């Protein structure tokens, strides 16, 4: 293994890692927010909204990410949507993640017994307060683990952005491999970076879980 | 270059034949994922420190290492310890064992939201651990976690495309081959996406059906 390779390609790899982190964080938190909005609209919206949302969820969730990215990046200009690779990457990430997140949230909503919500309405709590005080604290218990799961899945999904020339980690790694005819070193670094992201995500997920399950711990 | 439906029409039989492999890998993988995932979840929630640490290690390994690497390990590294798996079996195992880690986490989250009083009541009544899981915890966990589980199964169908790297002629691989012959990537990949969509749509609708049947209150 040649260590001077890393000196030469270190900056490129680090900038690739930064782009990966950027697309991943912005894209997945965007998807999380959009997914929550969709789940709320599905729960409280009128019937036409529900059909629209169901179709959106089925279509986006049912088709591969790479195809969606291609359509957005290469098909977008036909309808006047010209995006830089990074913009296209982030936007497609938000769109791709949102139906998965919305389904996780929908499951969380359903996990709260309806009787509690009816009771809360009877004592005169507003819908916003019911969401904040009764639904959210309880729904976060079953959904934190699936949310962590999906954030982890999305870390690895960022690799696909390299096909539309987003200068992210895999793109830089492949450049390094192609220019130096090395295989082991670049991909070892690649795995290390992804592993760091996954470890970090599952650690944060664990902390969040400890926080949201506080009320379940018995004092004995 | 115009969009040509003829190219799709001519190649559809090959793609549908390939989709059978995708289906086979997905269905077998799902079975492993659900069954093994349930056991993993039980192990992860075990009070025995050794048992839950092993389960936690398993989960962090299978979630942390890219599936492609896992698949290559199953296919190229297991023969060194004398376990020569056929490609299809390696693909099914890799997909199923990896997905089980995610399934275990989903179920764990759901089980935590089941009131602890139920487990305590079952213990007080002397219900054995297996029955507690079989009759009380798992059915409720599946009901609560169903939308997330369907998410996971749909992702499983999509990652079955990785089986192409160990030489299985599943949908993505065959689509690439056809593209190589016809130079029509747009048409072929849209057709492939449509086939994936149909498979996933069926899974998603079955999930909704199961959700309605398990609804309480």
Using pLDDT thresholds of 50, 70 and 90, give the confidence band for residue B53.
very high
| Out of A62, A65, A107, closest to residue B201 by CB | A62
A216 vs B65: CB contact, 8 Å cut-off?
Answer: no
pTM: 0.90
CB B68 within 8 A of CB B162: yes
Q: How far apart are CA B15 and CA B209, in angstroms?
A: 29
Domains recognised in chain A with CATH numbers: 3-158+168-219 (1.10.3720.10)
CB B72 within 8 A of CB B165: yes
Q: Which two tokens stand for residue A101?
A: 């997140």
Q: Which two tokens stand for residue B145?
A: 């976690």
pLDDT at B155: 93
Contacts of B147 in chain A (CB under 8 A): 103-104, 106-107, 110
What residues 95-134 of chain B have any CB closer than 8 A to a CB of chain A? 102, 105-106, 108-110, 112-113, 116
| Out of A64, A191, A199, closest to residue B158 by CB | A64
Maximal C-alpha separation, chain B: 73
- pLDDT of B141-167, one tens digit each? 999 999 999 999 999 999 998 888 888
Q: Which two tokens stand for residue A58?
A: 């089925």
CB B149 within 8 A of CB B100: no
Phi, psi angles (nearest 5°) of residue B82: 85, 15
DSSP B175: H
- pLDDT of A72-124, one tens digit each? 888 888 888 888 999 999 999 999 999 999 999 999 999 998 899 999 999 99
- Domain covering B5-216 assigned CATH 3.30.950.10 in the classification: no
Helices (H), B45-127: 49-64, 67-72, 87-112, 116-124
| Out of A107, A114, A218, closest to residue B148 by CB | A107
Per-residue pLDDT of chain A (220 residues; tens, 9 = 90+): 567 777 888 888 889 999 999 999 999 999 999 999 999 999 888 889 899 999 999 999 999 898 888 888 888 888 888 889 999 999 999 999 999 999 999 999 999 988 999 999 999 999 999 999 999 999 999 999 999 999 999 998 898 888 888 888 888 888 888 888 877 778 788 888 888 999 999 999 999 999 998 888 765 4
Angle formed by the axes of helices A136-157 and B138-159, nearest 10°: 20
């Amino acid at each position: 293994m040649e260590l001077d390779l890393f000196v030469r390609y270190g900056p490129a790899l680090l900038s690739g890692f930064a782009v990966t982190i950027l697309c991943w964080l912005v894209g997945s938190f965007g998807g999380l927010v959009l997914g929550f909005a969709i789940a709320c609209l599905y729960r409280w919206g009128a019937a036409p909204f529900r059909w629209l949302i169901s179709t959106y969820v089925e279509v986006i969730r049912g088709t591969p990410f790479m195809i969606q990215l291609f359509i957005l990046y290469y098909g977008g200009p036909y309808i006047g949507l010209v995006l830089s690779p990074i913009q296209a990457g982030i936007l497609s990430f938000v769109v791709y993640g949102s139906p998965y997140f919305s389904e996780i949230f929908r499951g969380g909503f359903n996990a709260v017994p309806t009787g509690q919500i009816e009771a809360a309405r009877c004592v005169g709590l507003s819908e916003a307060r019911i969401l904040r005080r009764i639904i959210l604290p309880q729904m976060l218990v079953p959904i934190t683990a699936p949310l962590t799961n999906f954030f982890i899945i999305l870390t690895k999904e960022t690799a696909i952005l390299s096909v539309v020339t987003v200068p992210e980690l895999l793109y830089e790694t492949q450049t390094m491999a192609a220019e130096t005819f090395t295989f082991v070193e670049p991909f070892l670094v690649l795995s290390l970076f992804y592993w760091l992201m996954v470890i970090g995500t599952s650690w944060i997920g664990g902390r969040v879980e400890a926080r949201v399950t506080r009320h379940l711990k018995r004092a004995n | 270059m115009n969009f040509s439906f003829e190219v799709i029409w001519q190649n559809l039989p090959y793609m549908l034949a390939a989709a059978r492999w995708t289906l086979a890998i997905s269905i077998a993988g799902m079975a492993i994922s659900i069954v093994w995932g349930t056991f993993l979840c039980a192990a992860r929630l075990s009070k025995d420190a050794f048992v839950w640490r092993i389960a936690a290690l398993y989960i962090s390994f299978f979630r942390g290492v890219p599936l492609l690497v896992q698949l290559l390990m199953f296919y190229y590294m297991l023969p060194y310890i004398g376990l020569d798996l056929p490609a299809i079996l390696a693909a099914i195992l890799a997909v199923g064992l990896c997905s089980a880690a995610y399934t275990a986490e989903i179920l764990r989250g759901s089980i935590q939201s089941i009131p602890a009083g139920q487990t305590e009541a079952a213990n007080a009544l002397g219900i054995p651990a297996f029955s507690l899981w079989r009759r009380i915890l798992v059915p409720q966990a599946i009901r609560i976690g169903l939308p997330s589980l369907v998410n996971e199964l749909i992702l499983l169908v999509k990652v079955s495309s990785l089986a192409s790297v160990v030489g299985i002629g599943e949908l993505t691989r065959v689509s690439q081959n056809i593209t190589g012959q016809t130079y029509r990537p747009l048409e072929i990949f849209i057709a492939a996406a449509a086939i994936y969509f149909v498979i996933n749509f069926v899974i998603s609708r079955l999930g909704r059906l199961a959700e309605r049947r398990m609804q309480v209150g």
